[in-house]
Chain A
């Protein structure tokens, strides 16, 4: 136990008194201080209150939409084209004004402050990045700080810091947008949106125009940045996979701008509200839902695993299994073989059956485990540790039982919650 005197000297844990915090914040980020004045640690930051957008020609883009966007999390708006997701996003920074209803930011109507002050307090990332082609990368990122009246030097220093944060080489600072790849431009777009440290980040299909490999990288990067910064992000996409991967909560909108379902991704997959949501989730939502169940609890078998230098007795002792996994002396999987085709001391690596993609129980999900089993010609998946050494194998049947168990546990929890 720590001596009480030692604790007394240290700075008190927990938040600083509100007035101190406010002063410190307003010095560093004057904008945020104004927005975040009454912000709680976790609550509702943006409240969209039965908002309708009707255009003069009678088209209804958004129809009586109400959403509570939680603080410090990623809320994804997803739906087919024409569902009003971009319109909704643009109403939050008043690029589109609602016909009816109101939007509250931290309890205050967004119409209560000058529109450009509001916009400078919200980062905005757009498809194709929308960079200023006539400005260097550094100056692109420094845009909002400059608008807020920072000195050129301070704004550029901040921009350089952000380039690092989003994983851009500092050598790109003096380049112009045309000299960057699509993925790099999109990183600049994210850095530019974060430059003035706004509490809110609006992202309008930011990753749809880049190829799938780059997109995955950008998504992972966004999740990493979000872990570090804890922004309130509203993210628009038409890609349900992206929504499920990124969203803390996902709002599915249907054509005509009506909310179909607003739920965490796992709940969306397990209990779609209606046929539209079910259709939109696609045919393999059951498989995708497995991403939310950890593979850590799987009962692995070690009996069917033999090292390549095993002797005849050891092979014979394991011959009960239909297939044996042969590993190298360090335990890395090499491939499957039927027991009677294995000759001690003379295993032909070429003759082994492919072992498919192994999964890591500690970090992977049941989906990855099942995928490994399905891909394996023997129907068995290989589990490895972080270094790639075999820790066990598991059959499709056992994974199937684990899936049924996981489902019933979720159902029990839901029942308990509902008080049944």
Chain B
């Protein structure tokens, strides 16, 4: 019996190597999703009428099974990480776009009026007023998107060894080593909790201006 963290050689990575790979496959799509969501959300705030259709599209994208994406994407990207990451990025939109829209809309109207009256142009107003005030809502969205992405990466094993820690589940079956499955599930869980914790910390650092529980006026 080999050790808990000794992995079969067909996984082609050490345990820590898999953890790194898993994080990369999970976080890059969320980052890409955020980069796409920011301008899309701003368009939705600016032109209210496009928000419902945008929401519809992101929801439909989210409803498409990853397997279906893989079938199409393998033609373009092969059995690669990219094939796994593209659907994950698209899934993240369903959380991130509404989070950013709500965040930007949560800026009080008198704050916006004050900014306008003081001579902020639209770009400056977006970058210096709306976006910073939307940070709590954006990070709330990022937390959901990140944790869900970390768990979803595992399906990459379906296209052959692209599921990072998820690949251990396959090997657990093949080699009848249930400890591998336990390890995979636990590690993914821990990664999710840690990533969430990091985001909470980031929010605390970015928003010293938010009322804290326990700290009165």
A residues at B contact (CB < 8 Å): 93, 95, 115-120, 122, 124, 126-136, 143-144, 147, 176-181, 189, 192, 202
Instruction: Give the distance to chain B from A71, nearest Cβ to Cβ, in Å.
Output: 21
Instruction: Give the distance to chain A from B131, nearest Cβ to Cβ, in Å.
Output: 10
Q: Which residues of A contact B120 (CB under 8 A)?
A: 116, 147
Inter-chain contact B111/A179, CB cutoff 8 Å: no
Known: A130-B110, A134-B129. 7 other contacts (CB 8 A): A95-B113, A95-B116, A120-B118, A124-B118, A132-B129, A133-B111, A178-B209
Inter-chain contact B209/A134, CB cutoff 8 Å: yes
Q: Of B110, B129, B210, B211, which is within 8 A of A128 by CB? A: B110
Inter-chain contact A131/B114, CB cutoff 8 Å: yes
Chain B positions 81-127 with a Cβ under 8 Å from a chain A Cβ: 108, 110-111, 113-121, 124
Chain B positions 183-209 with a Cβ under 8 Å from a chain A Cβ: 207-209
Inter-chain contact B132/A134, CB cutoff 8 Å: yes
Instruction: Give the distance to chain A from B182, nearest Cβ to Cβ, in Å.
Output: 44
Instruction: Give the distance to chain B from A116, nearest Cβ to Cβ, in Å.
Output: 4
Inter-chain contact A202/B117, CB cutoff 8 Å: yes
Cα separation A127 to B119 with both chains bound (whole Å): 18
B contacts with A, residue count (CB < 8 A):
23
Q: Which residues of A contact B117 (CB under 8 A)?
A: 93, 95, 119, 122, 124, 126, 202
Instruction: Give the distance to chain B from A286, nearest Cβ to Cβ, in Å.
Output: 38
Cα separation A51 to B121 with both chains bound (whole Å): 26
Q: Does B213 contact A (CB under 8 A)?
A: no
Q: Of B113, B135, B208, B210, which is within 8 A of A130 by CB? A: B113
On whether A133 and B118 interact (CB within 8 A), knowing A126-B113, A179-B217, the answer reads no
Cα separation A120 to B115 with both chains bound (whole Å): 10
Q: Of A124, A131, A136, A180, which is within 8 A of B111 by CB? A: A131
Looking at chain A's contact residues, is the secondary structure mostly helix, strand, loop, or mixed? mixed
Instruction: Give the distance to chain B from A76, nearest Cβ to Cβ, in Å.
Output: 19
Inter-chain contact A117/B119, CB cutoff 8 Å: yes
Across the A-B interface, the 9 shortest Cβ-Cβ residue pairs: A130-B114, A130-B110, A124-B117, A119-B119, A120-B119, A116-B119, A176-B209, A134-B132, A134-B209
Instruction: Give the distance to chain B from A203, nearest Cβ to Cβ, in Å.
Output: 11
B residues at A contact (CB < 8 Å): 108, 110-111, 113-121, 124, 129, 132-133, 135, 207-211, 217
Q: Which residues of B contact A118 (CB under 8 A)?
A: 119
- Pairs across A and B, CB under 8 Å, 29 listed: A116-B120, A116-B121, A119-B116, A119-B117, A119-B118, A120-B119, A124-B114, A128-B110, A130-B111, A130-B114, A131-B111, A131-B114, A132-B114, A132-B115, A132-B133, A133-B111, A133-B133, A134-B135, A134-B207, A135-B209, A136-B209, A143-B118, A144-B118, A147-B124, A176-B208, A177-B209, A178-B217, A189-B114, A202-B117
Cα separation A118 to B116 with both chains bound (whole Å): 11
Q: Which of chain B's residues has its CB closest to A180's CB?
A: B217
Cα separation A176 to B129 with both chains bound (whole Å): 15
Inter-chain contact A144/B110, CB cutoff 8 Å: no
Q: Which residues of B contact A181 (CB under 8 A)?
A: 217
Q: Which residues of A contact B132 (CB under 8 A)?
A: 134
Q: Which of A115, A122, A124, A144 has the most CB of B within 10 A?
A: A124
Q: Of A131, A135, A144, which is within 8 A of B119 by CB? A: A144
Q: Which of chain B's residues has its CB closest to A133's CB?
A: B209
Inter-chain contact B119/A147, CB cutoff 8 Å: yes
Cα separation A13 to B161 with both chains bound (whole Å): 89
Cα separation A117 to B118 with both chains bound (whole Å): 9
Q: Which residues of A contact B118 (CB under 8 A)?
A: 119-120, 124, 143-144, 147, 192
Instruction: Give the distance to chain A from B109, nearest Cβ to Cβ, in Å.
Output: 8
Cα separation A192 to B121 with both chains bound (whole Å): 18
